Structure formats: structure tokens, C-alpha cells
A and B are shown apart, each in its own frame.
Chain A
Amino acid sequence: MSKSSVAKRVPVSFTVNGKSHSLEAPAMARLLDVIREDIQLTGTKEGCGEGECGACSVILNGELVNSCLVPVIQAQGAKITTIEGVAQGDVLHPVQKAFLECGGAQCGICTPGMVLASLSLLEKNPNPTRDEIREGLAGNLCRCTGYMKIFDSVARACGSQQ
């Protein structure tokens, strides 16, 4: 529940995965909670709640952000992509497909954020080197993989695997 018993609720509108949403929420409610609870898209995860782990990453107006650090009022009028908006129906995005083929996902909890971070990286740099991949994903923590298979996945997705 993102509603606080005391905080005043304000109207806010934005687009998530191409769909418009208008709702009322406390201005300082975390975008993460609004996405998970009000819009009920639970693919966006909470890992730390302080912007360290990147599990809650979403793409907001073309920028990768930690949705746990974004007050919902800042998303007014924004275009947001969450993990649920990455595949086209049943057809996986090449990044998702590469993660599946290369073993880039293990427990899966960092995976939504990691996929969005990879998309964001490839958007800016379609052919990153291994070091650029490492740097591009530095804001997303994974405790399972040791990152190697994630680097492989991103390289596979852009067809630049050495």
C-alpha cells in the first residue's frame, strides 16, 4: 500500500509500457511502490531501497533510474518502461533472449533491472566493449552470477561477442 495515513494525495499521470495511467498518490511516494502496488506491475523489484542495487531500475524518459529513489511526482507526464514492456507479446527482446541463452539470469531477482540496464546501455552504445559493458552495468548488483554470464549476454545481444 503506497498510501500513507497522513500524506496528502495528489493527482499524477504518466505512461507505463505505452499505457496511460492517472492516479492519486502522495507526492513523495516512491515510484517503485506506485508501479508495484497501484499499477500492479510486480516485475520491478526492491533490493535495497537506497539506490545501491539497481533491482528497481526502470527507464524513465529514456534514462535508467532507480525507481526507489524517484518520488512519483517527478514522474508526472513521463514515459516509463518496466520489464513487463520489454518483450513484444510472446516474442522476447534480443537482450532477454541472450540472457536466456547465455545463463545471464540465475535467481532472477536482479534480472529485470539488469535487462533494463542492458537495454539502456545498448541504446547509448550499440557495440560496447567488455569494459564498457562492465561500466554500463556497474549500478546493478547481482549476487548469483559473478557477472560473467551477464557480460556474455549483453555481448551476444549486440552481436559483438569476441
Chain B
Amino acid sequence: MRQTQTVGRSVQRKEGREKLTGQARYVDDLTFPNMLHGVTVRSSIPRGRIKKIHFEHGVPWGEFTIVKASDIQGSNHVALILKDQPFLAEELINHCEEAVVLLAHPDKHLLEKARKLVGIETDPLPPVFTIEEALAGKQIIWGADNVFKAYRVEKGDLDSVWAKADRVIEAEYETGAQEQLYIENNGMIAVANPQDGVTVWGSMQCPYYVHKGLLPLFNLPQEKIRVIQTETGGGFGGKEEYPTLLAGHAALLAWKSGRPVKMIYDRAEDMVATTKRHPSRTRHRTAVSKDGKLIGMEIEFNIDGGAYATLSSVVLSRGTIHSAGPYFCPHVRVISRAVATNSPPHGAFRGFGAPQSLFALERHMDHVARELGLEPDEFRRRNFLREGLTTATSQLIREKVDLSGLLDHALEKSDYHAKRERFARENPGSSVKKGIGFATFLHGGGFTGSGEKTLASVVGVEATPHGQVRVLAASTEIGQGTNTIFSQIAADALKLPYEQLEVAQPDTAHVPNSGPTVASRTVMVVGKLVETAAVALRDLLIGAGLLPAEYSPEQFRQACAGYIEKFGQLRANSQYKQPPNIEWDDEKYQGDAYGAFSWAVYVAEVSVDTVTWETHVDDFVALQEVGRVMNPILAAGQIEGGVAQGIGYALYENVVWKDGRMANGQMTNYIMPTSMDLASIRVFFEENPYSYGPSGAKGIGELPLDGPAPAILNAVENATGLKVRKIPLMPEVLMQEAKRGAHV
């Protein structure tokens, strides 16, 4: 009885039933005996020195567990890339939401009252709030020059092109912060004492990041720190690095009180204090020939990292590498910087720097095309990357890429040319202007450069005597479908029914470190390890003479029972090996940045009401080539969700800053798309299997955030003639632009 393959089919979500019946357990659904609740007392100024902390009368302070920086026995820094961020501020305050004091008590309501009675007296210092102020360097708030990280990418000889260019076209672009808005806020529960060590349960993407962060904080041996992921209600990058800080806080309170401590942020706290997408500024200076060929690109890309370095250097790296997009240009220079400001640290968010630099690029491509008198599609066609050409980092494209074909299909699906004509004809007679625009882009799968080699991820696959197979990995299910896809991959590798597979709950005491759940790497990189480990497990059985080369699930079960009886345990591991031909120079930022790219063309159709200046996306076509599509419904769900976040990023999601603090930290006044805002998102896949991905899969998760914003603003320009170069495109921005007479 051979099972049909599950890869390529829309098998049902593994944990779907629990989620649909309310049985899935998220961190806030867990209660421990004798548990306390914990809260954070934060600074209220963006920058300064702590003079004194006082506790006002009004609550029985003797009942409270109080933790300050001085209570930390280990090292007071959040271990990530650099060691600049403290778990609790000691003397210096670097942003408005900096944690200073932690409180725990059995009564949540009393705790809330107590939080307001902690006074932090400070001497304010002059803050820095923008990229421009940071680079001007009047106040130095970080390192020698406020720069966390800078890159310089050089390809060809850019300085030689300006004189021979037919046209040089310059423009600046700007993107705002974006709030994550996963519907489950950040939360952790900790049990910690000197005998057992520290155990935390919580909402997170990267259990081993939390593990790494807790080690120096408590100065304990590895096995005394245990991190368990509970069902996680959305991550998007917002639960990549931040959970380490919160886990540390819960654990510090648990350690001091000797009781379990639960810390769950409410929405307001999660919105103001946790990480957002980095705001950015990009300047393009582009040399073109009159026949519409790119001959030189100079790109300056700067992002606002907030108060601490966190992951900004890596976000900057991805943004830098993607900044020249899916085009061939012989001479490129990219200069990029991540700078410090006195805002809460900005962090990982789906796309990870690429949505920012690709917004600039794809708006700029339309701008250059218009300056040259070419249609946007025609200008891009003349410059697309293809097999045998090189990217900005001189990565040779070895796969068969047909961007022109993708563009043809996307324009066809959206009826682009006919609509372009019709809108031009009908718009003059209407106060509602319609427009259509697109973006073409790429997204690299997995860690940049030699990152995957350094991570050296491991995956295990084990079987029970009943032939039930379990995948052991630290890669988390956060809604994107890890449990389902890993089960599909292992089921096919073992020729077993999908139902016979399960994925272990990520728990650092039981699963190997398969790396973080980030960078569109879970299927492409870790999935490949699942496939390899499953094959290794099968080969163990075959090698032991217990299983023939062709077998039924029942024969597999018998073989497992026999193997376990003989050897005690049936488990196989696999470890990442870099595919051949990947060469990366981290000094020069040249070489093979990613093992594979996914490619896409997104087309947005919009209506702009010239009375209210509101923009609505009427139709959205998302066409992409992501290698093999593992599960069509899950894959389309990833794209639709990413496009929805991208539409929010472009049109609605406006973080209002006031003195370094988010002023609209509520769902009432920070607006994400509702079902009324999203009419139609149509997803199309083209498949071009990638040799080193499981069944040919490439990365998919982040790609859909890269395209919507530039496609929408290109469509708005098509509708109105207004050349807005920043997002979010709020109605008032568009109105001002119209008033300024920028109308062409």
C-alpha cells in the first residue's frame, strides 16, 4: 500500500483542530500553582541618568517581589550580537520604554496600582530621534559616531560612469516604522531556583536565542537553562529577539521570589515597548543610457535602529543586498548605515530590511522609466537579471530565471495594459481616480552569506516502536505551517502517511538547535535537514536488515519495533552542509549572498478618492516563483497574509512618534487592515524547483512583504500623477502633495 505523496498537496494543518476548538494552549492559558504575576516599570524619558528610585505609599510593598539591576547575579546584558542592551537599566536610560524595575505579586490589579507608585527620578540628557540627527553627530549616544554598522558594496567602477551616462536620475525615499501587531501579545512564564535552574515557557520564534540570552544572565551551565515554546499567536519577527528580554525579566522575578512568575504584556505595552520595523531613508542616483539600460547605481541606504544594536546590523545587511533588486547593472555602489536613536530598539520584522530598500528601488524604477519616456514594464525588461548575469554583490545567477515571463503573466492576470488605458480615459471625468502599478523583486532565502554555515543547524527524527515518527527541531510553528510542512517532508521521505508524522514541541531539553525561525529558512534550509534526517532514519532500518527497500507502513512499524528492541532507540540526525559553489566575502560584501532567491511580480489596482484622499486597494495580483510549492493552501495563505501586512505598511499603519515614544499605541488609533480593507488578493505560483531545497522548495515567508508598498504607490501615481516617495501614504500626505501643485 504505497501512500501518495503529500508534498504538493494541501493536507490539513497539523495543529488546526486544537486551534479551531480552543484547545491550543498559548502562554497566557497556562497557570502554575502558587504563581505570581509580573510587571515592568519603565523609564519615562528618552535619555538620561537615573538618580534615585523611590516607592510611594499606597500598596503593601512588603508583599511584592522587587527586582532592580543590582539584583542581577550574572551579566546584565541581553546576549545577541553585541552586549550593549541591559535587561534592566542601571544608570543610563536610552529610550522611553527602558525597563528599570520589575515587580511581582499574586494580585494583578494591585500590581498595576503598584507599578504607578514607583518613581524613577532622572537627570535628562539631550535625545536623538531621527536618522539625520544621529548622522549629524551633535549628540553621541552610541559608540563613537552613533553608527551601529555600516556596509559598502562595490561592483565595477561606478565613478567612471557618470560622465558617459545619457541621464543621471536622483531621488530620495522614506519608509516609516511598522508595528508587528501579532494578535497574541508577548508573554512568558518562568520557574527559577538555584536547585533546578531556570525554565521558561512562552511565545517565541527562537528557543535557542532565549537560551543563549539566559545563560550569562544567570551564569548557569547550559543544561540548567530550559526554554519551551508554547503555541504562538503570530510572530512576524516580533518574537525573534524581544522574547529573550521578557524571559529574562520573568526569570529574574521567579528567581528572587522562588515562585513561578507569569508576565503577559497587554496590547498597549506590547505596542510601545517591543520591536517595530526599522524606519529608513534611501537615496538613489542612477546612471542610464538613452536606450534604457542601467549603467550605474549609487544607493545610500540608512535605517534607524533605535537605542541598542540588537539585530540592526543584520537587518541592514539584508536591506543592503536587496537594494539593487532583480536587475543587472555593471557598476553599483551601496553605502548603508544603521544608526542609533533614542527610540525603543527596532527589530526583526518580516522582510528584514528588504521591504525598505525595495520600496525605494521599485518607486525609483518607475521614476526613471518616466524620465526616459519608457513604460515601467519595458524599462524593467531591459534590465532584468537572468541566468549568467550578476547581482550587486556579484553573485552569479545559476538558476533559470525568467522575470520577463513572470512579468508577462502578472500583467496578463491583472489585465494591466487594458486597465492602464481605460483608467487614463475615464479618470478625468471622475473624482475617484483609478490606477494600476506593479513592482518586481526578489528575496533571498536563509541566512546571508556564510550565516547558515556558521549556524550549522541540526535536526533529529525519531520513531516509536509503533512506527510513529517525530521530527525534533527548534523551528517553531507560529502560524506559518512548520508542523504541517515538516510532517509532509518527513512523510514523503519515509513513504509514510501524513498522519503517522508529528513534530515535537520545541523544548531546548529535547530538540536540537535547528537555528532560529527567521529569514524564510524554515522550509528551504531546515526542511532539507528534516528530509535528510528522515532518509537517514530509514537507512538505519534498511542497514540493520529490518526493512526492504520498498515497504508498507506496517512493515515500517515492525522494523521500528525490531530496531528499538535491539538497539534501544531509533533516531537519526542531520546537520547543515553548505551547497557547493557558495562563496561569500564578508569583508568586501561580495559573492553568493543567498543560496537561492525567490522572484515575484506584484500588481496593485487602486482607487483614490480625491475628496477624502483615501486610497483603497481594489485588486491585488501576487505572482511568484518560490521553487516547489509544498502545500498550496498554506503557501497562498502566507502570500495573502504578507500582502495584507504590506498593504497596511503602504497605506494605513502610521506609527506616530512623540519625543521618542509611540503616541498611538492602541489598536483604536494604529490601524491595521480589516476585512473591509481587503477586497481581493489573487495569488499565483510558478514552480522552478531549487536543487538544494526539500523537494525543490525555496523561501516564501518574507517575500510578500517586499512588493505591496511600491506596487501600491506606483498605482497611486498612475491614478493621480502624484509622486509620493514615502510610506505610509496617509490621506493627508496625498492631499498636501496635491495642494503643493505637484500634480503633473
Contact = CB atoms under 8 A, between A and B. Distances in A.
Contacts of B681: 146, 148
A54 B636 CA distance: 24
Interface in B675-697: 675-676, 678-681
Contacts of A87: 20-21
B13 A109 contact: no
Contacts of A101: 12
A10 interface: no
A4 to B, nearest CB: 4
Given A52-B667, A83-B21, A109-B26, A145 B233 contact: no
Interface string A1-36: 101111100000000000000000000000000001
A134 interface: yes
Contacts of B233: 45, 107-110
A145 B183 contact: no
B502 interface: no
Contacts of A46: 28
The dominant DSSP class at the B interface is loop
Contact of B675 (A82, A100, A106, A147): A147
A1 B264 CA distance: 13
Q: Which of B24, B106, B110, B480 has the most CB of A within 10 A?
A: B24
B676 A112 contact: no
A141 B101 CA distance: 33
Nearest to B106: A1
B478 interface: yes
Contact of A45 (B183, B232, B643): B183
B645 interface: yes
Contacts of A146: 637, 640-645, 673, 678, 681
Interface string B306-319: 00000000000000
A119 interface: no
Interface string A88-110: 00001000100111110111111
A55 interface: yes
Given A83-B21, A146-B678, A147-B644, A103 B633 contact: yes
A145 B641 CA distance: 4
Contacts of A36: 29
Most chain A CB within a 10 A radius of its CB, from B21, B110, B674, B675: B675
Contacts of A55: 183
A157 B636 CA distance: 20
A98 to B, nearest CB: 10
Nearest to B181: A143
Contact of A84 (B21, B28, B479): B21
A144 B479 contact: yes
A107 B20 contact: no
Interface string B85-112: 0000000000000000000001111100
Nearest to B634: A103
A112 to B, nearest CB: 5
Contacts of B672: 141, 143
Given A141-B674, A148-B678, A103 B184 contact: no
Choose among B17, B37, B232 the residue with the greatest number of A CB atoms under 10 Å from its CB. B17
B108 A1 contact: yes
A60 interface: no
Contacts of B680: 148
A107 B21 contact: no
Contact of B107 (A5, A112, A115, A148): A5
Q: Which of A47, A108, A109 has the most CB of B within 10 A?
A: A108
A41 interface: yes
A115 B21 CA distance: 9
21 contacts: A4-B109, A41-B22, A42-B29, A46-B28, A47-B667, A50-B666, A52-B666, A53-B183, A87-B20, A99-B16, A100-B13, A100-B16, A103-B13, A105-B20, A109-B184, A135-B675, A138-B675, A147-B640, A147-B678, A148-B640, A148-B681
